Structure 1
Amino acid sequence: MHWQHAYQKWKHFDKLDKELKQQLDNMDEKALEDAFYKPLTFGTGGMRGELGPGTNRMNIYTVRKAAEGLARYLMEKGEEWSAKGIVVAHDSRHMSPEFALETAKVMGAHRIPVTLFTSLRPTPELSFAVRHLGAAAGVVITASHNPPEYNGYKVYNEAGGQVPPDEAEKIIAKVQEVENELTVKVAEKKEMETRGLLRWVDEEVDGPYVQALETIVRRRDVIQEQADRLKIVFTPLHGTSRDLLVRGLDQLGFKHVTVVEEQAQPDPEFSTVESPNPEEHQAFTMAIEYGKRLNADILIGTDPDADRLGVAVKNDQGDYPVLTGNQLGALMLHYLLSKSEKLPDNGVMIKTIVTSEMGRAIADHFGIATIDTLTGFKFIGEKIRQYELSGEHTFLFGYEESYGYLIGDFVRDKDAIQAAIVACEMAAYYKTKGKTLLDALNDLYQQFGYYREDLHSITLKGKEGEEKIRGIMEDFRKNPLDRAGDLRVYAVEDYQTGERTFVKDGQVESINLPRASVVKFLMNDNCWCCLRPSGTEPKMKFYFGVRGETREACNKRLKELKEAVLSRVKVEA
């Protein structure tokens, strides 16, 4: 349908939400086209977009449409299945509580039971709740670390993982069957409560989740030994993690946890930071001020829905450099493997194709297999479920470069609360050795070689932005990278065709992963670069990974590789 037809349908809908109608009336033609030229689609993290009127925006009608599609999908699996119901959670963003309730009301129209949290909760707790309560599915309303004008809709299956591509396609098909998002039927909240179709929870899930955190601790004795000396500063960045993480740290014996008060309260504007993303070092500005004032050992920060964790550690100069996601992942992996009493023979570590190769080197050292997945933690969750059913592997750790980690599989998505617990335990352990996490990281570099990674993103919004992103991907497919300084490309992986092509002889291998618009160039000495459009943001992403025998060699290779790739990209954001 041409965008103007969709716009006219909304404009003349006599029951249109008053606030959305007012916004619609104030939009120019370019804004209207961007709001209506397509429906929101599911990417690596579900449905996500800017708030506002239109089929390409997050609003009560697009949320109802998504919920209607999910309801039809569950009903098609049978009455016994849909009777298990769904669990719904939400974060601190604009319209998150409203979207959570709208989801419940659509389910109520189909007599599908809904369990709804009484207030905002972390995304990983939603994953836990689906499994703990035996629900058929889960939904969390969140846009993770996106700017304030965004919100999102993430769907989880009965295993507690984000729906993988095959399930997502079936749900999307049901969503697309919904002819008019404006007329989706909803039940009344009071009626649902009276009929037992809407149930509210809090401690019923909070308690068991916090109790499960006990299972990921390796050295409780170390925590007790350092309880009076280890100083922790924590910022939830105006999000959902404060109560649950403070409670978990306290239960495990950490005594000196100081919360950054200015960022402790939920705030949909995230008013104290440029971006509520622990990947962005500016998000730690206030935490660093606290750290210097208190002489803290470790600073921890979670994104608004508490599935990503950032960590900063005091160095010899009294500053607090922020670890990268790859660095923290390598530290966690090594610590967990080295402090386990006995590693299973079929143990496995799972990472994404754009995560550092240092993790593979560490896993190899302990005789643990490494499995690569596409970008997006849902693929890691899918592998955990697969191995749980087949018994082929025992899951030990999963991570991605974008600050996502999972230790205990009682959750099937990245979990910043779990990761924060382990990060603080590591800090306590190395403090007993007179070391910081930075010292421990340098020890790993000495043992496994120096690794450096980087990410360059270009924001390209709207219809024009999508066309530019397609052009960049097409250019690198037709004219593949061949060298960068002393690095030579020996193979090109195209995940859209599912083929790995070796440069020397043209030999082709199959890549046993789902199809995706991703191109990766493999180079000598465990170096690589990867191009992919983001599945959740209007961005073109360029990932770089290098290894060298020295820090200087690493830095030189990274500079040359980035120049070789980015010099070919001629677009304006």
Structure 2
Amino acid sequence: MNTWEQAYEKWNSFQNLDLSLKKDLDNLRDDKKVLEDAFYKELTFGTGGMRGILGPGINRMNIYTIRKAVNGLANYLKVNCVNVNDRGVVVSYDSRYMSQEFAIETAKVLGSYGIKTYIFNELHPTPVLSFAVRYLGAVAGVMITASHNPPEYNGFKVYNEDGGQIVPDEATEIISFIEQTESELTVPFIEQGELENKDLLNWIGSEIDNAYLEQLKQLSKLKKEELEKDKVLSIVFTPLHGTSYDLVLKGLEQLSFPNVHVVEEQAKPDPEFSTVESPNPEEHQAFTLAIEKGKKVDADILIGTDPDADRLGVAVKDSDQSYQVLTGNQLGTLLLDYILSHSDQALLTNARMLKTIVTTELGRAVATHYGAKTIDTLTGFKYIGEKIRQFDSTGETFIFGYEESYGYLISSFARDKDAVQAAMMACEMAYFWKEQGKTLLEALDILYAKHGYFLEGMSSLTLKGKEGSAKIALIMEDVRKNPLTEVAGLKIEKMEDYATGNRTIFGDSTDQEKMDLPNENAIKFILEKNSWVCLRPSGTEPKIKCYYGVCEASKIESQERLALLKEAMDQVINRTIQHS
């Protein structure tokens, strides 16, 4: 009997198996391929938590894989934190299937260890969970979400006592405790009623929201009289069936934006995300209804958040009066420029802008222009949160953080990317530029004229299942064993292998130096003529991603260079797959 079959039989013969999962398992009895995928390995707990397809099996999201993860987390907290029981853990959840159930399961396991849990009484954004951990002085936070993944997914994200996503060292230790759990099917727990009777389960009402909104109001760069007057800016907003509806509307109201039009078809939570192909503001199709609404009301700006409200997409009018969706790099750099240009210049020498290794270099150019220093982190906002935590002891000042995948943080009262913060600042920025007689696209052109035409792109290849994981590993292995010497005719000046932490510098002689970054399975090639490419497997999806960046004198030249880089890297990946 194969290992997956043994795992399946263990579940199938478990007498107390949850009835709905038992029914699902019975329906899959004759589908060996699906059963193997559900049981051939345990669902991976990565650096931020775990994410997967809902259903029965050890490689699926269900109450048993949740209980096992929480069991490991509880033991980790007992060893590494003080006053764990009294400080407790904060739990939030989004609009997905089983989200609230998984939140309660988290409390049921924590309660068996005597650890108090705070759960929001309704779905809430991820950044508010981050804020709540700090506000309540909790030892950790848990967010039940799969972000913008398809409807069949859900996830379990863990936050440390600083309100940031757990980083690799923390994750490694939590994983070791998870692995010590004998069986996911027999993890101890306490029923909800008993938890509430013992004050081990506390429901969060409006207090956190009110405190968060007060912090949100402090973000504004406008003078008091300007802040309080009604602003002539037409806004269309869609929460894409997720968690941001109330807080975005209240935040815009307190910043005196009265002209806000909600995409009503997408206003209510919907685990099927039935009006979009993907509830991801990175995908332009997610703005289809918002664009229709924008044309009807002659909106200046369209804003859309993903289901757990940690990513923001923005669209604005172009010269043809059509709506153009800004890339994450473009919006992030515009926000950075607006913030720095409205900050006390004397304070910027100590200011630090944080971006990831695959985020546009235009941000560095803008920060340098204002006298702020740029620090690169690995991909993932957890690393930006970790840096902010370090600033608490070094005395450096966090000014802004962003990543190309539509994640932004303006103020560190939250320690994860925050679409609600970003929505407020994007609308204020659009209002500022409208008062100058310009759109955000025209503001972007000013930056390009000043710093160069930076352009970025990303392509991804989805390789699902056991075979797909093996192919992704093979691609990365091949690139390391047979390193590139040029890409699309451009010589490689440096190769940064984040798995080893080594930077190789090519020239008359080849030199190596260590990078001050954690290890991650990614490789970046810095090319001549201000170009670069980076190859990286996704940490949350069965994908391998390739990122590109160029800077030429014009848009056309940059587009042509970018296309050549993409074609060359596609050939590298396809060649490896064909030979496997």
Assess, with a 3 A threshold, how the Cα gap between structure 1 residues 225 and 552 changes in structure 2: closer, same or farther.
Answer: farther
1:476 is aligned to 479
Deviates more, 1:518-527 or 1:336-345: 336-345
Partners of 1:357 and 1:291 lie apart in 2 by 31
The one-letter amino acid of 2:316's match is V
1:443 is aligned to 446
C-alpha displacement of 1:224: 4.6
1:204-353 matches, cutoff 5 A? 204-220=207-223, 224=227, 227-342=230-345, 343-353=347-357
Preserved contact between residue 47 and residue 166 of structure 2 (Cα < 8 Å): no
2:533 is aligned to 529
1:397 is aligned to 400
Assess, with a 3 A threshold, how the Cα gap between structure 1 residues 42 and 223 changes in structure 2: closer, same or farther.
Answer: farther
2:25 is aligned to 24
C-alpha displacement of 1:253: 0.7
Q: Deviations over 1:513-560 (max 9, x none)?
A: 111110100012321000010001111101011111111110111011
The one-letter amino acid of 2:368's match is D
Preserved contact between residue 84 and residue 115 of structure 2 (Cα < 8 Å): no
Preserved contact between residue 223 and residue 428 of structure 1 (Cα < 8 Å): no
Preserved contact between residue 526 and residue 533 of structure 2 (Cα < 8 Å): yes
SS in 2 for 1:321: strand
1:534-553 matches, cutoff 5 A? 534-553=538-557
Partners of 2:167 and 2:556 lie apart in 1 by 40
Partners of 1:48 and 1:493 lie apart in 2 by 28
Gaps of 5+ in 2: none
Preserved contact between residue 223 and residue 429 of structure 1 (Cα < 8 Å): no
1:69 is aligned to 2:62: no
TM-score, normalisation: structure 2: 0.96
Partners of 1:227 and 1:447 lie apart in 2 by 33
Partners of 2:229 and 2:447 lie apart in 1 by 23
Partners of 2:225 and 2:279 lie apart in 1 by 32
Q: Deviations over 1:256-311 (max 9, x none)?
A: 01110000000000000000000000000000000001000000000000000000
1:179 is aligned to 2:169: no
2:42 is aligned to 39
Partner of residue 429 from structure 2, selected from 421, 426, 429:
426
Partner of residue 388 from structure 1, selected from 360, 385, 392:
392
C-alpha displacement of 1:50: 0.5
Preserved contact between residue 45 and residue 536 of structure 1 (Cα < 8 Å): no
C-alpha displacement of 1:44: 4.6
Preserved contact between residue 297 and residue 314 of structure 1 (Cα < 8 Å): yes
Preserved contact between residue 356 and residue 377 of structure 2 (Cα < 8 Å): yes
Partners of 1:281 and 1:562 lie apart in 2 by 20
C-alpha displacement of 1:331: 0.2
SS in 1 for 2:42: coil
Partner of residue 62 from structure 2, selected from 55, 59, 63:
59
Partners of 1:284 and 1:473 lie apart in 2 by 34
Q: Percent identity?
A: 59
Q: Deviations over 1:298-344 (max 9, x none)?
A: 00000000000000001121110100000001100011000113434
The one-letter amino acid of 2:126's match is T
2:171 is aligned to 168
Preserved contact between residue 127 and residue 418 of structure 2 (Cα < 8 Å): yes
Partners of 1:79 and 1:375 lie apart in 2 by 30
The one-letter amino acid of 2:160's match is N
Assess, with a 3 A threshold, how the Cα gap between structure 1 residues 328 and 44 changes in structure 2: closer, same or farther.
Answer: farther
C-alpha displacement of 1:239: 0.1
C-alpha displacement of 1:486: 5.0
SS in 1 for 2:194: helix
Partners of 2:48 and 2:468 lie apart in 1 by 20
The one-letter amino acid of 1:516's match is E
1:117 is aligned to 120
1:366 is aligned to 370
Assess, with a 3 A threshold, how the Cα gap between structure 1 residues 162 and 386 changes in structure 2: closer, same or farther.
Answer: same
Preserved contact between residue 131 and residue 414 of structure 2 (Cα < 8 Å): yes
1:155 is aligned to 158
C-alpha displacement of 1:228: 4.5
2:7 is aligned to 6
Partner of residue 190 from structure 1, selected from 187, 193, 216:
193
Partners of 1:78 and 1:200 lie apart in 2 by 23
Aligned alpha-carbon RMSD (Å): 1.4
SS in 1 for 2:52: strand
Preserved contact between residue 231 and residue 256 of structure 2 (Cα < 8 Å): no
Deviates more, 1:478-487 or 1:104-113: 478-487
Deviates more, 1:195-204 or 1:93-102: 195-204
1:516 is aligned to 520
Partners of 1:256 and 1:507 lie apart in 2 by 58
C-alpha displacement of 1:8: 1.0
Partners of 2:461 and 2:84 lie apart in 1 by 43
1:125-136 matches, cutoff 5 A? 125-136=128-139
SS in 1 for 2:87: coil
Partners of 1:86 and 1:141 lie apart in 2 by 13
Assess, with a 3 A threshold, how the Cα gap between structure 1 residues 328 and 129 changes in structure 2: closer, same or farther.
Answer: same
Q: Deviations over 1:133-167 (max 9, x none)?
A: 00000001000000000000000010000011111
1:105 is aligned to 2:97: no
TM-score, normalisation: structure 1: 0.98
The one-letter amino acid of 2:364's match is R
Q: Deviations over 1:389-436 (max 9, x none)?
A: 222x11000000000000010000000000000000000000001001
Partners of 1:214 and 1:35 lie apart in 2 by 46
Partners of 1:97 and 1:490 lie apart in 2 by 50
Preserved contact between residue 222 and residue 429 of structure 1 (Cα < 8 Å): no
Assess, with a 3 A threshold, how the Cα gap between structure 1 residues 437 and 44 changes in structure 2: closer, same or farther.
Answer: farther
Partners of 2:492 and 2:278 lie apart in 1 by 36
SS in 1 for 2:323: coil
Partners of 1:235 and 1:45 lie apart in 2 by 27
Preserved contact between residue 44 and residue 536 of structure 1 (Cα < 8 Å): no
Preserved contact between residue 96 and residue 151 of structure 2 (Cα < 8 Å): yes
Partners of 2:331 and 2:64 lie apart in 1 by 40
Aligned residues between the structures: 571
Partners of 2:81 and 2:458 lie apart in 1 by 45
